[in-house]
Amino acid sequence: MQKRKLGNSGLEVSALGLGCMGMSFGYGKMPDKKEMITLIHKAVEEGVTFFDTAEVYGPFINEELVGEALAPFKGKVVIATKFGFAPAPGDPSKWSELDSRPGHIKEVAEASLKRLKVDAIDLFYQHRVDLNVPIEDVAGAVKDLIQQGKVKHFGLSEAGANTIRKAHAVQPVTALQSEYSLWTRQPEKEILPALEELGIGFVPFSPLGRGFLTGKMNENTKFESTDFRYALPRFTQEALKANQVLIELLAGIAKRKNATPAQIALAWLLAQKPWIVPIPGTTKINRLTENNGAASIVLTPDELQEIEVSASQIKVTGERYPENIMKMTGR
């Protein structure tokens, strides 16, 4: 597995990371914990050194899983986690409330350190921009944690270009994590140019479109009510059918490259910028190995142009999220 640096920060990670959310949150029935620890160990064996979690995944149990699984590899891997959510008043099971007050950020850091079994959090993202707290105050709180040796790097997630600039002026931002893939290309307009200018790395989550870009879904695919895709506009029967044209594009190139649609989707992302590090998630070892294989696939300039020309003519059907969640993005 090749390595990449996230912008000008000097933080070096594997070219592909591993998103761990689905191992204990979000996609229906919870997988077996021992199997997920085995999968994380397999990822390390295959050269993955970058692992992504958050306190809100579960909540808490995903950080505990990642901390337990990676304890034998302390100092050899980079763990990213996130702050910025809190239980809804009166209902601790719901974590829809944003809370990036400096005092809360510091409390979250202390708790995450314990769950992750580490002395310092490698990369600490603000999970979503909290309009009730100036971003300068958020950056200042993380700066304090960095000075105390409890955090090594500061990150943002789903933030707008203006917010990124304001935060970066207080405490250099190492990475932005936002959704980016062949069916979610909004970051290309303002975000990628801003990151390049400021020397900030980019970590695309859902680089396989929450599984859609693997080519294993069609209009007959059904989701359990406990799978959060069940409520996403892009996963309705109509949208799944309309968006198959993207799969046809990927499958055509995959066939010529002796690869899979998922590998082409990831290779395309890796080809966009040398400071982009996608974090596909999976709960299956064969998918993990398939995804990691994308790091060795090189798309030629002609192939990239072919993808660009074809994809530019495709209008993706369905929003990424329902309206209430979309409001939390791009702030």
pLDDT at site 92: 77
**pLDDT bracket for residue 144 (50, 70, 90):** very high
- The verdict on residue 168 lying in a domain is yes
Mean pLDDT of 37-46: 98
Given this model, what pLDDT does residue 90 score? Answer: 82
Q: Is residue 327 part of a domain?
A: no
* Interval 134-155 mean pLDDT: 98
What's the full length of the chain, in residues? 331
Q: Which of 87-91, 115-119, 222-226, 313-317 has the lowest mean pLDDT?
A: 87-91
- For residue 256, the model assigns a pLDDT of 96
pLDDT score of 309: 97
**If you average pLDDT over residues 48-58, what whole number do you get?**
97
Determine the structural domain holding residue 180 and report its residue range: 3-209+273-294
Mean pLDDT of 7-27: 96
| pLDDT bracket for residue 302 (50, 70, 90) | very high
Contact 228, 27 (CB under 8 A): yes
| Percent residues over pLDDT 70 in the chain | 100
Instruction: Give residue 88's pLDDT.
Output: 84
Per-residue pLDDT for 250 more than 80?
Answer: yes
pLDDT digits (tens, 9 = 90+) for 166-212: 999 999 999 999 999 999 999 999 999 999 999 999 999 999 999 99
Cis peptide before 102 (omega within 30 of 0): no
pTM of the model: 0.97
Residue 96: per-residue pLDDT: 86
CB contact at 8 A, 180 and 36 = no
Other Cβ atoms closer than 10 A to 66 = 30
> Looking at the 3D structure of the chain, how many domains does it have?
1
* pLDDT tens-digit readout, 62-99: 999 999 999 999 999 999 999 999 988 888 778 889 99
Residue 157 binned pLDDT confidence (cut-offs 50, 70, 90): very high
Contact 195, 164 (CB under 8 A): yes
Instruction: Determine which of 20-29, 44-53, 66-75 has the lowest per-residue pLDDT on average.
Output: 20-29
Q: Which segments of the chain are extended strands (E)?
A: 3-5, 12-14, 18-19, 50-52, 78-83, 85-86, 97-98, 121-126, 151-157, 173-179, 201-205
Return mean pLDDT, the chain.
96
Task: Select which of 57, 180, 230, 321 is catalytic.
Answer: 57
* Partners of 13 in beta bridges: 4
CATH number of the structural domain spanning residue 144: 3.20.20.100
Is 45 within the bounds of a domain?
A: yes
Tell me what pLDDT residue 93 has: 77
Q: Which residues contact 180 (CB under 8 A, 6 or more apart)?
A: 187, 202, 204, 205, 207, 269, 276, 278
The pLDDT of residue 91: 83
In a domain, 231, yes or no: no
57 assigned to active site: yes
Q: What is the pLDDT of residue 20?
A: 98
Does 309 reside within a domain? no
Mean pLDDT in residue range 230-248:
96
